[in-house]
Amino acid sequence: MKVYNIAVIKGDGIGPEIIDEAIKVLDAVAVNADFELKYDEYLMGGNAYDITGDPLPQETIDGCERADAILFGAIGGEQWDKLPRDKRPESGLLKLRAALGLYANYRPVKVYDELIEASTLKPEVVQGVDLLVMRELTGGIYFGKPREKGEDRAYNTMIYTKEEIVRIAKEAFESAMKRRKKVCSIDKANVLEVSQLWRDTVEEVAKDYPEVALTHMYVDNAAMQLVRDPKQFDVMLTGNIFGDILSDEASMISGSIGLLPSASVGGKVGLYEPIHGSAPDITGQGIANPLATISSASMMLRFALGEVEAADKIDTAIEKVLKEGYRTKDIAAFGASEVCSTTEMGSIIADIVCSHR
């Protein structure tokens, strides 16, 4: 029997609640499989700062480097917002991405038929949406130096090297080859030199993928097109800050940010997490939607561990609970036959993957 070592980072806010449900489902799917999952828990974020004085202890980096995959919840909260920037929870996640070389962020957006009415867009606009935002994760303005903040002036620099653009572009084109063979590269090449380099480099990479149709779109137009006609997109290739914004916008097409998973890859070990934050306003109430985290666990099985059959079982179970009308509070107004707590939703999915019903 294969044994996989999973580094678990629960983080802050609702992080522990949603990670517990993902682990519940993972353990359930492993019951009838030929693999075993072993978990080691590590600290990152505000909780890590409170305990160790560091939002990313070296022990966490070391543990993640030894693991086969990382399952992560969420970080952040108002109580840490006044800390120096390098001590804030978010800096821990940025440092972990850099330390592990996690340059490619996969953010799939799929609209379930049962939740079409949950979207604020018209049903005919969102039905059938199935797109992937491919976000570059370790470059751009979030990591650019120099950076400075004074009393009356502050600046950040957006920097991309050709090498960084090439490697994320290849991820996008390889993904498109397995999908509908379309890549839309998002930039601001009409005003930014760094975006012109981005566009020129993506066009060079595209020559190695003649089957894939490449288009370009300015980021402001892309934001508009996402709500006008999201079905036109297959793979959206973006830089770090543009991808951060556009993927959150795209998440609302599905009806709830609590539905969407993500994978951050590129280095030796991949990190799998929901795209939402720590939601401190609902922490401890048992109403957080664990579906994005459970979907992230499925992505972990599929892409990091190669356990495709187990991942398929989880994906099928998620679709089944939605078809049967189980809803957490955030989507309860849309076709709910039963409103579930966080733990109840996890238990129902775990029960299905164990083939109990």
Q: pLDDT tens digits for 278-301?
A: 999 999 999 999 999 999 999 999
Residue 168's pLDDT is: 98
Q: Choose, from 220, 268, 281, 323, the residue flagged as catalytic.
A: 220
Residue 324, both tokens: 């049967």
Does pTM top 0.95 for this prediction? no
Domain with 149, as residue range(s), is 120-254
pLDDT band, very low/low/confident/very high, at 357 (cuts 50, 70, 90): low
Q: In this structure, are residues 303 and 263 in contact, taking their beta carbons and an 8 Å threshold?
A: yes
Residues 331 and 242 in one domain: no
DSSP 291-307: HHHHHHHHHIIIIIS--
Judge whether 303 lies within some domain.
yes
Count of structural domains within the chain:
2
Q: What pairing do the DSSP bridges indicate for beta strands 182-187 and 2-11?
A: unpaired
3-state secondary structure 37-91: EEEEEECCCHHHHHHHCCCCCHHHHHHHHHCCEEEEEECCCHHHCCCCHHHCHHH
Residues 212 and 153 in one domain: yes
Please identify, among 195, 224, 254, the residue that sits at the C-terminal boundary of a domain: 254
Residues 135 and 248 in one domain: yes
Q: Average pLDDT in the 307-332 region?
A: 95
Residues 125 and 246 in one domain: yes
Type of residue at 177: M
For the chain, the distance separating the N- and C-terminal CA atoms, rounded to the nearest angstrom, is 26
Residues 249 and 127 in one domain: yes
Q: Is 188 part of the annotated catalytic residue set? A: yes
Q: In this structure, are residues 182 and 172 in contact, taking their beta carbons and an 8 Å threshold?
A: no
pLDDT band, very low/low/confident/very high, at 82 (cuts 50, 70, 90): very high
pLDDT at 234 over 70: yes
Residues 32 and 19 in one domain: yes
Cα separation, 171 vs 136, in Å, equals 10
Cα separation, 188 vs 218, in Å, equals 5
Residues 250 and 261 in one domain: no
pLDDT at 46 over 90: yes
Q: Choose, from 4, 12, 106, 188, the residue flagged as catalytic.
A: 188
pLDDT at 256 over 90: no
Q: Is 244 part of the annotated catalytic residue set? A: yes
Residues 160 and 279 in one domain: no
Residue 356's pLDDT is: 58
Q: Which residues of 289-320 are buried (b: 16+ CB within 10 A; e: fewer)?
A: bbbbbbbbbbbbbbbbbebeebbebbbebbee
Cα separation, 206 vs 214, in Å, equals 7
Residues 77 and 43 in one domain: yes
Judge whether 114 lies within some domain.
no
Q: Is 248 part of the annotated catalytic residue set? A: yes
Please identify, among 197, 225, 254, the residue that sits at the C-terminal boundary of a domain: 254
Residues 51 and 100 in one domain: yes
pLDDT band, very low/low/confident/very high, at 257 (cuts 50, 70, 90): confident
Percent of the chain with pLDDT over 90: 88
Residues 201 and 296 in one domain: no
CATH number for the domain that contains residue 11: 3.40.718.10
Where is average pLDDT lowest: 130-139, 235-244, 272-281, 347-356? 347-356
CB under 8 Å to 194, separation ≥6 — which residues? 158, 159, 160
Judge whether 36 lies within some domain.
yes
Please identify, among 254, 276, 297, the residue that sits at the C-terminal boundary of a domain: 254
Residues 27 and 84 in one domain: yes
Residue 72, both tokens: 């992560």
Residue 205, both tokens: 């990479």
Q: Choose, from 130, 248, 312, 351, the residue flagged as catalytic.
A: 248
Q: Choose, from 187, 244, 315, 330, the residue flagged as catalytic.
A: 244
Q: In what helix (H) or strand (E) does residue 154 lie, and over which residues does it extend?
A: strand 154-155
